[in-house]
């Protein structure tokens, strides 16, 4: 303000007496009086003016915004000279920047790819910032620095904000000239994004001229040339067509695979369409004040300050754009998990048998693990050999139809989340408890099968080794180390077992991601259509290969990733100087069986061996529990399920436990296998 601004104010006591009618207004009046006395003059630097304006915004908005904003309006109404000088300060700040860039870029990602946008935001946090002068987007974030400031601005009375704008001499109208240019910029960006090959191929429109993005650009040009209600209606119709097209592309992604980059561009188009709608209405409202220019201007202003604060956040960027991919990964995991949940007595015994086969194969994996360790290979080669051992074993299990119990929790949790969602929609608590019982008994059967046969299989391998004259597979020193390494208190068994649970969950994420990638790129169809594949396998063989790949991608991705994670983690720990290892319950049980055979049966009765058995139980609990908890948490978040229904679920489970506790461990009665009556034909 001018150098004599303080003289225009009444003295402090008069000011407080006039404007401090209530204790709350009196507190605000004291702060406002002090702030007005310190206001800068026109010769002050821009950063000084911005700092003072930020203090005024803070005073007016935070805590009792309507009361403080009303107080400011009262003071400015009675002191028009101060209001005029304050309005000139605001106008000076706004006139320094480019309004079209403010409207077209603030709050909208400016990079066409997710990683490029994330890199830009990350560098914005790491590099020193240039001066604010001339950058209206950064001016907004400086004046409204944070979510609580934005919420306070949104909660203010529109009438109070309109009156303040009027008292200041309508300084924000200096930005209005940038609206037409911004409208054309955003419309052009939408057209460019919509014409990308991967998006255009999913719009089911062959003629480029018929694409809604092109129509929107044309309608925007017409509206800029003649801003009236008729052309606004045409522009709104084009926006609606664009939104329908975006929804259609999203639907195709929901049915197939998801590309995170394509999802990002769809989100960007959606946000840009909202911006075009706001700019169009503001443009027409400016030309026809009766249409409510202040209301549309307020909506646009609130959108800008919220977007300006959001556009710096890397976390918000990924949270918004990874949601659909997360949901698809969970969906694929849920489909895989359905195969691990038994519904009948026959399926229960099949699960027990397949898990037994997994236990036998794991005994061989354990032998190979000891061979790799005894070879004293270089770290890189050791890691590759371990990963190949585990991955090869797990893939062999998959193709042989065997089951690894520790893989179940991370995929059955997604199926449980789906049951929770269904229960929340239908209110069927019994169905939820039945799913939990099926998951629990399936997990029990798999664990019993794995652990029940890995021990005899290990002992059989040991017996075969001795019969061939090679002696015990493990020497006494290695056997003692195996027993000691499983002690629950004197070793790192507990954190290593929890880490293994995390790796088991991570492998399920890789499995879902691999299935999604295969679906998105139509990998099975692409391979089956290769000329030499069709020549080699023929039409029927190519069709079989396509179905085989469709069924196997998730399993191969999960098994290979689990093998790499289990094999590489200890090696990576050594590379960085950390004694990191994994503790997998089936592998650890097989290792303990080999150690017992090497040390003699008397070792089974020692306290150290008893502690190792307790360690095995803890490993099982952590392997299953950690992977299941992580998978359930991710599944619930991806499906947007509320967390306030736990008591209802617990009551349903308690009721099931009281009335049928054995359903959680034993197979269902054979009646479940009886066919449906003839009067009720099977669907389909």
For 460-498, how does the pLDDT look when each residue is reduced to its tens digit (9 = 90+)? 998 988 888 777 888 889 999 999 999 998 889 999 999
CA-wise closest residue to 28 among 39, 41, 15: 15
**Could you give the CA distance from residue 475 to residue 466 in angstroms, rounded to a whole number?**
13
Among the listed residues 615, 583, 586, the one whose alpha carbon sits nearest the alpha carbon of residue 503:
583
**Sign of the four-CA dihedral 82, 83, 86, 91:** negative
pLDDT at position 679 is 37
Tell me the torsion sign for CA atoms 404, 405, 409, 411: positive
Domain boundaries, the chain: 98-134+176-323, 334-666
Give the pLDDT confidence score for residue 310 in this predicted structure: 74
Distance in Å from the first CA to the final CA of the chain: 80
How far is it, in rounded angstroms, from Cα 5 to Cα 309?
A: 33
Chain-centroid distance of CA 479 in Å reads 44
CA–CA dist 94, 133 (Å, integer): 10
Instruction: Work out the burial of residue 66: count CB atoms within 10 Å of its CB; fewer than 13 is exposed, 13-18 middle, 19 or more buried.
Output: middle
CA–CA separation, 655 and 677 (whole Å): 30
Q: Which two tokens stand for residue 89?
A: 């300060």
Q: What is the pLDDT of residue 680?
A: 36
Q: What is the DSSP string of 315-339?
A: HHHHHHHSHHHHHHHHHHHHHHHHT
Confidence at residue 369, expressed as pLDDT on a 0 to 100 scale: 92
Q: Which two tokens stand for residue 545?
A: 């290969």
Q: Angle formed by the axes of helices 607-639 and 429-467, to 10°?
A: 140
What is the reported pLDDT for 566? 92
CA distance 354 to 340: 11
Please state, in angstroms and rounded to a whole number, the distance separating the CA atoms of residues 677 and 684.
16
DSSP state of 209: G
Q: Is 361 helix (H, G, I), strand (E, B) or coil?
A: helix
Contact assessment for residue 551 and residue 515, using Cβ atoms and an 8 Å cutoff: no
Burial of 674 (0-12, 13-18, 19+ CB in 10 A): exposed
Neighbours of 643 (CB within 10 A): 8
CB 363 within 8 A of CB 393: no
How far is 491 from 52, CA to CA, in rounded Å? 61
How many C-beta neighbours within 10 Å does residue 126 have? 6
**Rounded distance, CA 87 to CA 42, Å?**
11
Q: What's the CA angle centered on 92, arms 86 and 97, to 5 degrees?
A: 140
In whole angstroms, what is the distance from residue 359 CA to residue 602 CA? 25
Cβ–Cβ < 8 Å for 308, 137 = yes
Write the DSSP assignment of 186-237 as a string of letters. Answer: HHHHHHHHHTSHHHHTTTT---GGGSHHHHHHHHHHHHHHS-SHHHHHHHHH
CA trace torsion 627, 629, 633, 638 (10° rounding):
40
Taking only the tens place, the pLDDT of each residue in 499-524 is 999 998 888 888 877 877 887 778 88
Residues in the chain, how many? Answer: 684
**How much is the CA Rg of the chain, to the nearest whole Å?**
34
Task: Give the integer Cα–Cα distance in Å for 556 and 560.
Answer: 6
Taking Cα atoms as reference points, which of 471, 561, 546, 473 lies closest to residue 512?
Answer: 561
Angle between helix 212-225 and helix 229-255 axes, rounded to 10 deg: 160
Looking at residue 684, its pLDDT comes to 34
Q: Which residues of the chain have pLDDT under 70?
A: 1-8, 42-43, 110-115, 123-133, 204-209, 254-259, 289-294, 312-340, 410-411, 413-432, 635-654, 656, 669-684
Q: Residue 129: is it exposed, middle or buried by C-beta count within 10 angstroms (0-12/13-18/19+)? A: exposed
Residues 6+ apart with CB under 8 A from 591: 366, 369, 370, 482
Angle in degrees, 0-180, between the axes of helices 323-338 and 314-321, rounded to the nearest 10: 50
Look at residue 207 and give its three-state secondary structure: coil
Say what the pLDDT of residue 3 is. 46
Say what the pLDDT of residue 320 is. Answer: 62
For residues 656 and 669, give the distance between their C-alpha atoms in angstroms, rounded to a whole number.
16
């Amino acid at each position: 303000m001018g150098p004599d601004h303080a003289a225009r104010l009444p003295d402090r006591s008069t000011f407080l007496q006039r404007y401090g009618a209530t204790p709350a207004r009196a507190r605000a009046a004291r702060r406002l009086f002090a702030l007005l006395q310190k206001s800068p003059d026109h010769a002050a630097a821009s950063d000084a003016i911005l700092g003072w304006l930020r203090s005024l915004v803070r005073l007016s908005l935070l805590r009792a915004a309507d009361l403080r904003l009303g107080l400011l309006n009262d003071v400015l109404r009675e002191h028009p000279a101060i209001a005029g000088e304050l309005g000139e300060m605001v106008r000076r700040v706004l006139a320094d920047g480019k309004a079209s860039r403010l409207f077209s870029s603030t709050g909208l990602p400016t990079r066409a790819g997710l990683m490029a946008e994330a890199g830009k935001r990350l560098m914005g946090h790491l590099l020193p910032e240039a001066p604010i002068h001339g950058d209206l987007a950064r001016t907004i974030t400086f004046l409204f620095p944070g979510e609580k400031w934005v919420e306070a601005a949104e909660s203010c009375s529109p009438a109070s904000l309109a009156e303040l704008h009027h008292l200041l001499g309508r300084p924000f109208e200096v930005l209005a000239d940038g609206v037409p240019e911004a409208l054309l910029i955003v419309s052009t960006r939408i057209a460019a994004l919509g014409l990308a090959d991967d998006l255009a191929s999913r719009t089911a429109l062959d003629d480029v001229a018929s694409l809604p993005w092109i129509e929107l650009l044309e309608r925007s040009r017409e509206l800029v040339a003649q801003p009236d209600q008729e052309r606004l209606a045409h522009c709104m119709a084009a926006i609606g067509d664009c939104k329908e097209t975006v929804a259609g592309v999203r639907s195709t992604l929901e049915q197939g695979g998801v590309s995170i980059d394509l999802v990002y561009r769809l989100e960007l188009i959606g946000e840009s369409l909202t911006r075009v709608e706001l700019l169009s209405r503001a443009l027409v409202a400016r030309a026809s004040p009766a249409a409510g220019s202040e209301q549309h201007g307020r909506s646009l202003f609130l959108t800008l300050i919220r977007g300006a604060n959001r556009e710096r956040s890397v976390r918000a960027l990924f949270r918004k754009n990874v949601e659909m991919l997360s949901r698809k990964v969970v969906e694929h995991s849920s489909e895989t998990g359905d195969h691990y949940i038994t519904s009948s007595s026959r399926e229960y015994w099949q699960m027990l048998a397949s898990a037994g086969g997994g236990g036998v194969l794991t005994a061989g994996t354990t032998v190979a693990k000891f061979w790799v360790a005894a070879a004293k290979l270089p770290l890189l080669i050791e890691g590759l050999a371990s990963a190949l051992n585990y991955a090869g074993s797990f893939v062999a299990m998959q193709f042989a139809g065997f089951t690894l119990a520790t893989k179940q929790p991370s995929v059955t949790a997604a199926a449980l989340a789906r049951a929770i969602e269904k229960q929340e929609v239908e209110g069927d608590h019994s169905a939820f408890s039945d799913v939990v019982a099926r998951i629990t008994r399936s997990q029990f059967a798999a664990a019993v099968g794995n652990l029940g046969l890995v021990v005899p299989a290990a002992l059989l391998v040991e017996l075969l080794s001795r019969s061939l004259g090679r002696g015990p597979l493990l020497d006494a020193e290695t056997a003692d180390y195996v027993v000691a390494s499983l002690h629950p208190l004197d070793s790192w068994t507990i954190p290593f077992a929890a880490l293994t649970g995390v790796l088991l969950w991570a492998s399920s994420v890789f499995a879902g991601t691999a299935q999604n990638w295969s679906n998105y790129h139509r990998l099975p169809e692409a391979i089956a259509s290769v000329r030499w594949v069709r020549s080699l396998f023929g039409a029927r063989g190519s069709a079989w290969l396509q179905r085989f790949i469709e069924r196997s991608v998730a399993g191969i991705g999960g098994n290979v990733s689990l093998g790499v994670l289990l094999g590489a983690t200890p090696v990576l720990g050594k590379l960085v100087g950390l004694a990191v290892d994994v503790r997998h319950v089936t592998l650890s049980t097989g290792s303990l069986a080999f150690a017992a055979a090497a040390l003699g049966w008397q070792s089974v009765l020692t306290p150290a061996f008893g502690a190792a058995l307790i360690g095995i139980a803890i490993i099982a609990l952590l392997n299953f529990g950690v992977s299941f908890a992580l998978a359930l948490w991710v599944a619930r978040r991806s499906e947007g399920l509320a967390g306030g229904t736990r008591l209802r679920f617990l009551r349903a489970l308690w009721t099931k436990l009281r009335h049928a506790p054995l359903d959680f461990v034993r197979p269902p009665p054979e009646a479940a296998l009886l066919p449906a009556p003839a009067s009720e034909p099977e669907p389909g």
